A = this chain, B = another copy of it.
């Protein structure tokens, strides 16, 4: 992979979005409605619209992408421009990464989640047999363009998913600025850039997810279990927030944090509008169910069950929790 693309300067913040000169476009189908003038032009580039659904993040959609590339005779030296949220970025970037062993890739994240998380760091993947992102690779984009006005057409529920990943980052680094997780607020441009660059910086230090990058997985072990066991009924960010809450619980139980840190940590979570259904669902799960599912997580190896856990306020560490549970 192109590790030199993992640098904060690859993230470009623009006030005006210019239409690409050449190459192909893959875009979330919803963008055709919201930004018709931009995408639907007479002299436009060949464009493939795809539905952004977790259920269609699979090899069938990948085949549609490969067929589009083949028909358009995409060359390795051609650029594919991808406009969309996390699902479209993950799916289409995996297509670009594997077509002719990799073509040029530029990402234009249209959701907050994609701007601060999914589009950063080169991970791309499809789901397989119910497991999220089971098939994938690392293929950083050569450029990530953040155009904040995209956020104005985002539903509050979508905006919240991005804030969830930001809140996760807030918990793993004391350096990041405070965030407002209440439903109505949109993070400022400079804060979006701050958080996006924070993630990029961590990825650059550990491109293949073998060390510090794993701290970005905070809240994800239980979060993924929740998504999977609920048949992806719950949104990713919401599930991560529930996972963070469960991780704080576990840290307190294991004595990794004291009640004071627990209380401080919960304070930031309290303003996040977590759907009550998630809490209810989580409370019905048994510990053995959760553990057996968590072991399937692709970041685990052998019999260990490694989790990112708080060891202080806004401080996390990776711990093997299998002997203690």
A positions within 8 Å CB-CB of B: 1, 59, 63, 66-67, 70, 73, 75-78, 97-102, 123, 125, 128-129, 131, 133-138, 208-209, 296, 298-302
Contact = CB atoms under 8 A, between A and B. Distances in A.
A131 B70 contact: yes
A277 B37 CA distance: 56
Contacts of A99: 134-135
A70 B131 CA distance: 9
A100 B298 contact: yes
24 contacts: A1-B1, A59-B59, A67-B129, A70-B128, A70-B129, A73-B296, A75-B298, A75-B301, A76-B298, A76-B299, A77-B302, A97-B137, A98-B136, A99-B134, A99-B135, A100-B134, A101-B125, A101-B136, A101-B137, A101-B209, A101-B298, A102-B138, A102-B208, A137-B137
A12 to B, nearest CB: 24
Contacts of A133: 101
Contacts of A123: 101
Given A63-B59, A70-B131, A129-B67, A101 B138 contact: yes
Contacts of A137: 97-98, 101-102, 137
A123 B98 CA distance: 11
Nearest to A122: B101
Contact of A76 (B59, B78, B301): B301
A101 B133 CA distance: 8
A80 to B, nearest CB: 14
A125 B100 CA distance: 9
List 10 A-B pairs, minimum CB-CB distance, nearest first.
A77-B301, A100-B298, A75-B301, A101-B136, A98-B135, A101-B137, A70-B129, A98-B137, A137-B137, A66-B128
